A and B are shown apart, each in its own frame.
Chain A
Amino acid sequence: MEQRTESPKEVLLEVKNLKKYFYSKSGFIKSNVQAIKAVDDVSFTIYKGETFGLVGESGCGKSTTGRTIIRLYDVTDGDVIFDGANLSQMTQSQIRPYRKRIQMIFQDPYASLNARMTVGDIIGESLDIHHLAKGKERQEIIWNLLERVGLSKEHANRYPHEFSGGQRQRIGIARSLAVNPDFIICDEPISALDVSIQAQVVNMLQDLQKEMGLTYLFIAHDLSMVKHISDRIGVMYLGKLVEVASSDELYDNPKHPYTQALLSAIPIPDPDVAKNSHRIVLEGDVPSPMNPPSGCRFRTRCRYAMDICSKVEPVLVEIEPGHFSACHLNKNSEGVSFQETVQND
């Protein structure tokens, strides 16, 4: 097995049984409350200094997971333990000191910057909020950050609309770095950018990680980019985590049928290899999170679906050291399903 998963590492963030339900109300007199289970019982651990990738289709709850961790949304149930402190039950004022340590980079570089503020004020906002620096010192910090993300200090007095998408995303990164955080949630930071700019931003994120010792939760749907940047990857489907493994392991040896289908969809840049590769095409659409299928949520689109899949919900179990999967198919060396061993306990 890979060594990095075996060496003892310091846990920075632990997400335990995290649930986030949104409620939609319909009806005026007799209100009909329906729960949309955007994130349903998700658990994972992120170690200090690593990059944890979170992948999945649109609407599977990746972004909601990120936003719930940083408490943009209230937690329905479960715990978010950051460096020993449980963020999930804190009030907004209790959580304020942790805002300096956890930051977020957003998906849309056009919507994530306030068009009425200068770039300098956008980057310096956290310094003002937390009263970290004033006057000349504040300006020095802003100039430093701008140069750090490859812009120049003259840009501080300009407005966001004067910048290109890639430049704007770098301004967003500079803003999140201003408080000197330990942990950054990257919510699809590159999916709105041109391919040529994507690499630039990802490389910058990696350089910053090395320089500042950052830990990332990298949310994306572009698998090849996630493989490039992540140490470990979690695959989500319909609010559930279906597989977690180190990135090499996940790519070489995917255990869950959904992961296999996802990986087969990555375009291969070599036509000869592509001709021989088999693409697993998933039938149908993602079911509504308001009314998910019974048992395994993936069974409606899974080509290996069995009887048990509709009855028993598979849980995430460690099938190999550091490799977790939630599927009835996964069997140990004795041919017994991992699900049985766990659920009999």
Chain B
Amino acid sequence: MADTTIKKELWERIPQDNKDAEVISRPSMTYWQDAWRRLKRNKISMLGLAFIVFMVLFALVGPTLAGHDYSTQDLTLSNIPPRFEIYQIDADTFVYVHSEYKLIDVLEDGTLIGRIKEVQNNLNDKNRVYDIDGNEVFLDYKYAAIKDSSEADAGIKFKLFVNGTEVQPYKTVWNKGHLFGTDNMGRDVLARVMYGARISLSIALIATLVNFFIGVLYGGISGYIGGRIGNTMMRIVDIITAIPLMLYVILLTVIIGTGFKSIVIALGSVYWVNMARIVRGQVLSLKEQEFVLAAKTLGAKTSRIMLRHLIPNVMGPIIVSMTMMIPSAIFTEAFLSFIGLGVNPPMASWGTLANDALSGIRTYPYQLFFPSLAISLTMLAFNFFSDGLQNALDPKMRK
């Protein structure tokens, strides 16, 4: 048998240092640091955040980089799509046949030069004759009006002849000067979408901030006072919710006219009710918590309890509801602008852009596509972001 006796020294008790028991090894993290750490792990919501940052930059610095002004019109270059077919006339002369059957001089890379003046315009026979650098160019667009023909079946609407021979499309190019094309006034769609982003995002931001202040104050007071006064305050909220937003906006525009201001006022005066409800609910449950009672026994005044104890503790739900409010404010603004209650031209928001594009939706779908894309992607980004934020701020998720 091996020697199994254990030396006596080994049984000596390790002196217990009381201080060690109180040491916290985990690095100190504030609530917000902790939430940010959790948010960073959520890929989709970070993607949303990245897109929001991109959209804000797009709105802020975009218009200065676009090279076009949102309001400058050029009627000769109206309704030109972002991508089009060009025809070769001679070695370095190219034309684009506009959907209004006019020829536009372009470079091979897609840079627009300008409208070409026709020599003859036969409206009855549906053709135009041009003289380009000595070449006789004949644009015959009668096929667009003929229903039963092999051309109509093949989708051909016009034919282009140079010195008597028909030419086929040379190639399809991107619109160099106007990446998103131009609208019916010849304004750059990209510049207008950027400018629209400015208007849409600032309306959303202002409306949300107004809602934040009114909602938090109103809900906080209603929840903290409680009782009859608090209930009456919430009944007023119910009445405001019961009035349809649309009616409200129409009445407002009657008084102060359509435009940026009336949309902000309309959104600001209606949207806060949800915020007020959330804050009231939270405050009602928090005010009975012992830390609020503790602050009272220390002699804290109501304002201090509200600002230092209650509101910081409701900040999580408030911020989540704010980020959820932004997309719905963007959408409401777009919707109001779309039905003609929005900002006035030449100012543009995404909603008015969509509205303007609606008349030409069959011929110029790109004019509707870009503002709609901007609206959808921004709303999606905000929704992804707020979803992740909700998970990150929810204390129940805390491990």
- Does B289 interact with chain A (Cβ within 8 Å)? yes
Q: A100-B299, A159-B28, A179-B298 are in contact. Are A115 and B313 (CB under 8 A)?
A: yes
Contacts of B289 in A (CB 8 A): 111-112
Q: Which residues 148-204 of A sit at the B interface, judged by CB distance below 8 A?
A: 150-152, 155, 157-159, 161-163, 167, 172, 175, 179
Residues of A within 8 Å of B, CB-based: how many?
37
User: Do B299 and A158 touch (CB < 8 A)?
Assistant: no
Main secondary structure of the interface of A (DSSP, over half): loop
Q: Which residues 286-341 of B sit at the A interface, judged by CB distance below 8 A?
A: 289-291, 293-301, 304, 308-309, 312-313, 315
- Does A126 interact with chain B (Cβ within 8 Å)? yes
**Interchain CB contact (< 8 A) of B28 among A115, A151, A152, A158:** A158
- Does A258 interact with chain B (Cβ within 8 Å)? no
User: Do B22 and A72 touch (CB < 8 A)?
Assistant: no
Q: A111-B289, A111-B291, A129-B304 are in contact. Are A163 and B297 (CB under 8 A)?
A: no
- Does A275 interact with chain B (Cβ within 8 Å)? no
Q: A157-B28, A159-B31 are in contact. Are A112 and B296 (CB under 8 A)?
A: no
User: Do B308 and A103 touch (CB < 8 A)?
Assistant: no
Smallest beta-carbon distance A245→chain B, Å? 29
Please name the residue on chain B nearest to A100 by beta carbon. Answer: B299
Smallest beta-carbon distance B292→chain A, Å? 8
User: Do B290 and A111 touch (CB < 8 A)?
Assistant: yes
Q: Given the complex of chains A and B, what is the CA–CA distance between A151 and B28 in angstroms?
A: 16
Contacts of A142 in B (CB 8 A): none
Q: Given the complex of chains A and B, what is the CA–CA distance between A172 and B398 in angstroms?
A: 23
- Does B19 interact with chain A (Cβ within 8 Å)? yes
Indicate the member of A100, A108, A129, A167 with the most B CB atoms within 10 Å: A129
Q: A96-B299, A99-B299, A115-B313 are in contact. Are A150 and B290 (CB under 8 A)?
A: no
Q: A116-B31, A126-B298 are in contact. Are A162 and B293 (CB under 8 A)?
A: no
**Interchain CB contact (< 8 A) of A106 among B28, B294, B300:** B294
User: Do B24 and A158 touch (CB < 8 A)?
Assistant: yes
Q: A114-B309, A158-B24 are in contact. Are A125 and B295 (CB under 8 A)?
A: yes
Q: Given the complex of chains A and B, what is the CA–CA distance between A113 and B309 in angstroms?
A: 10
Q: Given the complex of chains A and B, what is the CA–CA distance between A106 and B291 in angstroms?
A: 9
Q: A112-B294, A116-B312 are in contact. Are A162 and B26 (CB under 8 A)?
A: yes
Q: Given the complex of chains A and B, what is the CA–CA distance between A114 and B30 in angstroms?
A: 13
- Does A64 interact with chain B (Cβ within 8 Å)? no
Smallest beta-carbon distance A148→chain B, Å? 13
Smallest beta-carbon distance A27→chain B, Å? 14
Q: Given the complex of chains A and B, what is the CA–CA distance between A102 and B299 in angstroms?
A: 10
**Interchain CB contact (< 8 A) of A113 among B24, B29, B291, B297:** B291
Contacts of A67 in B (CB 8 A): 293
Residues 41-81 of chain A, each 1 if its beta carbon lies under 8 Å from chain B, else 0: 00000000000000000000000000100101000000000
Q: Given the complex of chains A and B, what is the CA–CA distance between A111 and B294 in angstroms?
A: 10
Q: A67-B293, A167-B22 are in contact. Are A129 and B28 (CB under 8 A)?
A: no
Please name the residue on chain B nearest to A187 by beta carbon. Answer: B290
User: Do A129 and B291 touch (CB < 8 A)?
Assistant: no
User: Do B297 and A72 touch (CB < 8 A)?
Assistant: yes
Given contacts A100-B299, A114-B295, A161-B398, 14 further A-B contacts (CB under 8 A): A70-B297, A106-B293, A107-B290, A111-B291, A115-B313, A125-B300, A130-B299, A150-B22, A155-B22, A159-B30, A162-B24, A162-B26, A162-B28, A175-B294
A sample of 30 cross-chain residue pairs with beta-carbon separation below 8 angstroms, ordered by A number, consists of A72-B296, A72-B297, A96-B299, A99-B297, A99-B298, A99-B299, A100-B299, A102-B297, A104-B294, A106-B294, A111-B290, A112-B291, A112-B294, A113-B294, A114-B308, A115-B313, A116-B315, A125-B300, A126-B299, A129-B298, A150-B18, A152-B19, A152-B22, A155-B24, A158-B24, A159-B31, A161-B398, A162-B28, A172-B294, A179-B298
The 9 closest A-B pairs by CB, nearest first: A99-B299, A112-B290, A116-B312, A106-B290, A126-B298, A114-B291, A111-B290, A104-B297, A96-B299
